[in-house]
Structure 1
């Protein structure tokens, strides 16, 4: 009875690319008796030699996605000595790119994994910012990297989203004099909390524009100077109780305010 074909997938990452290419290729043949052995995160010569010694006893082929030249060459040379067929998936792509781009490859293993991890951390941070925006769920305060507190129209949400794109989990809490602030905020490390304040005249203009956009009259209490001053006084007293840094976001772009916040967080956590 004919031996099963054993396909060894070797990779310095998870090996998913090698397996997908192999399955696409083998689908072109009437080959039912094959087995795939995947070896991810290979980073040393000893591991490669163990696989070669196993593969030489079988009807096998080695498919690999290795970018470190020394490890790639070891696979090719040792497999050749033992009459094992090899398929190098990465080099046929890397070499033409090298010539076209006039760049030397980094030859660092796991780069795509690092990029994927960074991407998923960003997505997680964005989802966190949405979930814990505007005090929706106080349970998020303990999980947050940064907690923003401030009255309405002090850029809490835009700042939360901007920082989320930098992989930072941000929760924000609106401050309203008539609504008691959640007790969970007093259990958060003050080093993680940033208070946001603004110039009352500027805030008055912003709120009036907000009312216009909503089709409401500018005389509403929300935009009155008395109301704004009351809210700012309340917010300032609460921030002092929390013992958190306070930044003035008046006339600042979101990027500028975000950089100030990051600098404060880095300084207080040194």
Structure 2
């Protein structure tokens, strides 16, 4: 008796799940010979028909992970027509979830892949924000989706990280009177540059707390109103020269400031760039 079998895996996405299930199942039988053939990105009925034409020539079954109803029904039809067993891996789970959740599934192919891609874009954006934080490497300015500029303690870093979680690559650059602003800033598309300013007394409070947390004297020049005003005046001149969008973050949560930045990005570059 012939104990060989060919398992055909059809998917409207990559088909990895179907292949893994096929291999796990066939390992329970230890046939003398078996082969798993994967057919990903099934989008039309003709592709399905071609698979069944091939499958009819040998001992075979068809496993499928297809969520598009028209294609799924065609697989079932072909299975009956060619007398080949077909196994639907997705529908029983989708039906159970629909019953419990009370609404229908999206039935869009490749959603798990899209979720994975979004996750890796987020990781990449976070790594970018860390690498190009606080003007560590001005090369990041050219590569960034968004560039934040401002004096110390205007929430550049937390805002960078928040925007990174929205998949934006963000570089931030501190503006200090004693350090010339990098040339790369003036070469950047101004619509991607955002200047952050704050009330000097608010900055004074924040900087004093920062010094305390570091165990330093909170009367240091860094936290003095005179020094803060000097820095703010310098930063405003740079922002005027850049002609960038300026946001006063004095009484804004990071989420609120991020919302303003994202709205500007949508307006200037379109909704499609925002996930």
The answer to whether the superposition gives a TM-score over 0.5 is yes
The equivalent of 2:65 in structure 1 is 65
Q: Provide the residue aligned with 1:208 in structure 2.
A: 208
Equivalent-residue separation in structure 2 for 1:152 and 1:200 (angstroms):
11
Counterparts of residues 202-241 of structure 1 (less than 5 Å):
202-241=202-241
**Residue deviations 1:167-194 (CA, integer Å, cap 9, x gap):** 1111111111112222211211111100
The residue aligned with 2:122 is 122
Gaps of 5+ in 1: none
CA distance change for structure 1 residues 210 and 92 in 2, over 3 Å: closer, same or farther?
same
Aligned counterparts, 1:6-17, within 5 A: 6-17=6-17
The answer to whether the 8 Å contact 2:3/2:31 transfers is: no
SS class of match (2:191): helix
Residues in 2 aligned to 1:111 and 1:68: alpha-carbon distance in whole angstroms? 12
Query: Matches of residues 1-270 of structure 1 in structure 2 within 5 Å?
Result: 2=2, 4-269=4-269
| 1:191/1:269 contact within 8 Å kept | no
Comparing 129-138 with 214-223, greater Cα deviation is found at: 129-138
SS at match of 1:148: strand
CA distance in 1, matches of 2:66, 2:92: 12
SS in 2 for 1:62: strand
Moved more, 1-10 or 185-194: 1-10
Partner SS, residue 114 of structure 1: helix
Query: Which structure 2 residue ranges, 5 or more long, are not aligned?
Result: 271-275
In structure 2, how many angstroms separate the alpha carbons of the residues matched to 1:65 and 1:266? Answer: 36
Structure 1 distance, partners of 2:144, 2:89, is: 42
Contact residue 14 and residue 40 of structure 1 kept, 8 A: yes
| Cα distance per residue 1:130-159 (max 9 Å; x no partner) | 111111221111121110001100000111
| In structure 2, C-alpha distance between the alignment counterparts of 1:220 and 1:60, rounded to whole Å | 79
Deviation at residue 264 of structure 1 after TM alignment: 2.7
Does the CA-based 8 Å contact 1:160-1:171 persist in structure 2? Answer: yes
Deviation larger for 126-135 or 101-110 = 101-110
Residue by residue over 1:73-107, the C-alpha shift from the partner in whole angstroms, topping out at 9 and shown as x without a partner, is 11112122212121111112122222222222222
Kept in 1, the 8 Å contact 2:23–2:36? The answer is: no
Query: Following the alignment from structure 2 to structure 1, what is the Cα–Cα distance between the partners of residues 14 and 189?
Result: 38
Q: TM-score, normalised by structure 1?
A: 0.94
Distance change in 2, residues 1:268/1:85 (3 Å): closer
- How many pairs does the alignment contain? 270
What is the RMSD of the two structures over their aligned residues, measured on CA atoms? 1.6
Contact 1:7 1:35 in 2 (8 A): yes
Runs of 4+, deviation exceeding 6 Å: none
Q: Residue 203 and residue 24 in structure 1: after superposition, are their counterparts in 2 closer, same or farther (change >3 A)?
A: same
SS in structure 1 of the partner of residue 7 of structure 2 = strand
